[in-house]
Structure 1
Amino acid sequence: MQPSAYIRRETAVSIVINLVLSALFFMAVFGRSGSVPVWGVGSYVFDFGPQGFMIALMATLVPGLLARKARTSGKVVAMGGAARLPANIAVRAMFCGLLGAATGMAGSALVVAPWGVTHLDWLTALLAKLAFGGTLAAIVTPAGLRAELIKR
């Protein structure tokens, strides 16, 4: 299989998985209705940290390990070029996880702070968390896969 097709397929799978997990964790943390508190420990903005960390970590680690196996078995052709991410998969996953956490918390704070809100409507909060989770998976998964599929 060509790397581009493999990356597209695995990215689509990662997006779907992360959308489902984001929804489930959102409901576990914030319930199924009501308003969602925005600021403070355990609140909406704070929750983007763990969400961003886990999505970026797992969207790098799991597809990366699967890609390594597919590449070494010959099911996926190795790519040429140079990776911008660390070669070591554990270091790469931690780096992406930390970047995802920082981006999630800072980005969500920058979006809601100008509104001056202390609570968000449940559905609005859920949809924004899903958008973040899907977008982060769509960015991190192909980057991590490219790093893993490059010839070394």
Structure 2
Amino acid sequence: MPASGDRFVLWAMSDAHVGSDLIKGDGRRSLGEAIEQSEGPNGFDWDVAVNLGDFSGNQGSPDDEEGEEVVRQYGALKKHRREQVYDLVGNHDASGPDETQQWWFKKWLDPTGDSTEFSGVDAAKRPFAVEGTWERYSFEAGNLLFLMMGDRNDGGPPVGRDIDGGYP
């Protein structure tokens, strides 16, 4: 594909299910491989990406090990900075009923740059500043306004869903 030039190129992606893909997908690095393909010889020159949730594929709460793996796979970025990817919480990224509200997403994906030591996201290095909070924020790129509104699942599963599965 040609270089973007005076065009604005957005890459939209979601549902990497990083931890479960490693286990069930024979070691598939779903996020890392997508990044490598986008930046590879047959890739495309994107300006920013929006990653729209479900970093975890877990049917329970994600853990630090999976968060570290998400950060490791974001390390596949070679032509772009981590801050060029704007993340949104998905239902599989939810914390459990006895856990701090959305701790995992805030720690490891961190769209506002509050947990840089874990996420590697430095808000000052974003090409377009984020305004708002981790679960709902916006950024402007030229004449485009992006409204990022996450899928919140606070307080654990709805009645009956934890027994039957399908949560988060």
TM-score in same-fold range (> 0.5): no
TM-score where L is the length of structure 2:
0.27
More helix, by proportion: 1
More strand, by proportion: 2
